[in-house]
Amino acid sequence: MVRFVNEEYLTLLLLIPLLVLVGWWVWRVRKRAAERFATPSMMRRLAPEASAFKRPVKFGLMLLALALVILALANPQIGTRLQEVKQEGVDIFIALDLSLSMKAEDIKPNRLEKAKLEIRNLIEKLGGDRIGLVVFAGEAYTQFPLTNDYSAANLFLDVLDVDAVSLPGTAIGIAIERATESFDFKEQTSKVIVIITDGENTEGDVFDDAEAAAAKGVLLYTVGMGSPTGAPIPVYGTGGRQTDFKRDRMGNVVVSRLDEAALEKIALIGKGKYFRGTTSQDELDAIYKDVSALQKKEFGVKQFTDFEDRFQFFLAPVLILLILEFILSERKTPWLSLNRLLRKQEGVQA
C-alpha cells in the first residue's frame, strides 16, 4: 500500500506540462530567429558541431529530475505491515455552556476557561475512548462528533468562546437532546454525557430530556461552575481592561447564580453524579475515574498499516540525472558523427 505524507506537493507536478510548453515555445522562437539569420545549410556550415537533439535531451533530464524531487517532497510511504487493531472504550459527550455568565470570575481565571482547561486535561487521559462536544447557550450545536482524534478535538476547543452561540439563554435540555442524538445506539458502548454549566435551564423541560436520555441507557454527569451566592459578569474594553459589570435594562448589576438543585436532579435521573466546579480541583478527572470503572465494550475494528518512508529512492536518481545533464554537451558526439559519415559514403558507393 502506498501513500504520500505531504500530498499537497503533488500539485507541483502541474508545472511539468507547463514547462514543456515553455520549452517548446522557446525552441520555436530560436528556430525562427535562426531562419531569419541564415538558411539551414548555412547554419550547418557555421556551427558544424552543434547537435540538433542534445539540447531537448538535456531539457528532458532536468524535467525528469524536477518531477522526482517533487515526488520526494511529497514523501511517499509504503505499508509494510498490516494488522487488525481492536479499540475498546467509552463514548463521552461534553455539553459545554457558552452563555455570557461563564465569563464570571468566581472561579479563576473564569468559569469558561476553567472548564476548557479541565476538558483538555480529560482529553489527555483518554485512551481508546471517544469524545464529542456540544456547545450551548440559548440553542445547542454539535461542535464536533464522537472522535478519537484528540488533536483535532483540542483544536476545536481552543477557538471556543461565549460568542460561538449567538442566542442568549441556557438550553441544558436541548444540549442533552443534541448529544443523545449524536450517539450510535447500534454500538454496544457505554455512553456518557457530562454537562458543564453555571445557570438555570431557560429552554424547555430539562428533566424530560434527561429522562429520555436515561431511558436509552445514557449516563448523565453534571458539573456546576460557580456558586449559589453568585458573581457579577465583568465587561472588558479595548486593551483588556475591565470597564464595568454586565447590567440589566434597569441598570442593575447582573449576578449569575448556580442552580445546584437542578443539576443534582439531572445527575440523579441519569444515574450519574454531580460535582461543583472549583478553582483547585479537577472535577472531570473525578468523573473520568468513575467512568473508567464502567465495562468498556469493543466499538470498532480498524486496519492499521505500518508505513516506511521511501523518498530516498526518488532522490538518488535525481543526482544521477543532474550529473548526466551536466556532463552532456550540446556538441555532436564525434563517434556518432563519424558513423553517419561512413553510412553516407557506403550509400554513395552502392
Q: Does a structural domain hold residue 194?
A: yes
Contact between 299 and 146 under an 8 Å Cβ cutoff? The reply is no
Using CA atoms, how far apart are residues 158 and 124, in angstroms rounded to an integer? 14
Work out how many domains the chain is built from and give that number. 2
Residue with cell 460561538: 164
Contacts of 247 (CB under 8 A, 6+ apart): 253, 254
**For residue 94, what are the domain limits?**
86-302
Q: Does a structural domain hold residue 80?
A: no
**Do 96 and 64 lie in a common domain?**
no
232-252 pLDDT, tens digit per residue, is 989 888 877 888 898 888 889
**Do 252 and 345 lie in a common domain?**
no
Grid cell in block for residue 40: 539551414
Q: Does a structural domain hold residue 99?
A: yes
**Do 199 and 250 lie in a common domain?**
yes
Q: Does a structural domain hold residue 34?
A: yes
**Do 320 and 216 lie in a common domain?**
no
Q: What is the pLDDT of residue 335?
A: 45
Q: What is the pLDDT of residue 83?
A: 58
Contact between 179 and 160 under an 8 Å Cβ cutoff? The reply is no
Q: What is the pLDDT of residue 308?
A: 74
For strands 234-236 and 242-245, give the pairing: antiparallel
**Do 136 and 232 lie in a common domain?**
yes
Give the CA distances from residue 334 to residues 160, 259, 318, 324, in Å, rounded to whole numbers and listed in that order.
73, 96, 28, 18
Q: Does a structural domain hold residue 246?
A: yes
**Do 209 and 96 lie in a common domain?**
yes
**Do 288 and 330 lie in a common domain?**
no
**Do 266 and 130 lie in a common domain?**
yes
Q: What does the buried/exposed string (b/e) look like for 267-298 if buried means 16 or more CB atoms within 10 Å of the residue's CB?
A: bbbbebbbbbbeeeebbbeebbeebeeeebee
Q: Which helix (H) or strand (E) holds 96?
A: strand 91-97
Q: What is the pLDDT of residue 321?
A: 85
Q: Does a structural domain hold residue 81?
A: no
Q: What is the pLDDT of residue 88?
A: 65
Domain holding 238: CATH number? Answer: 3.40.50.410
Contact between 275 and 224 under an 8 Å Cβ cutoff? The reply is yes
Q: What is the pLDDT of residue 51?
A: 64
**Do 253 and 320 lie in a common domain?**
no
Q: What is the pLDDT of residue 213?
A: 96
**Do 288 and 316 lie in a common domain?**
no
Q: Which residues in the chain land under pLDDT 70?
A: 1, 37-53, 79-88, 294-306, 330-350
315-343 pLDDT, tens digit per residue, is 888 888 888 887 877 666 554 444 554 45
Q: Does a structural domain hold residue 191?
A: yes
**Do 158 and 100 lie in a common domain?**
yes
- Other Cβ atoms less than 10 A from the Cβ of 221: the count is 28
**Do 62 and 90 lie in a common domain?**
no
In whole angstroms, what separates CA 196 from the centre of its chain? 25
Which of 171, 172, 259, 173 shows the shortest CA–CA distance to 208?
173
Q: Does a structural domain hold residue 120?
A: yes
Query: What amino acid occupies position 131?
Result: I
Residue with cell 547554419: 43
Q: What is the pLDDT of residue 341?
A: 47
Query: What amino acid occupies position 119?
Result: I
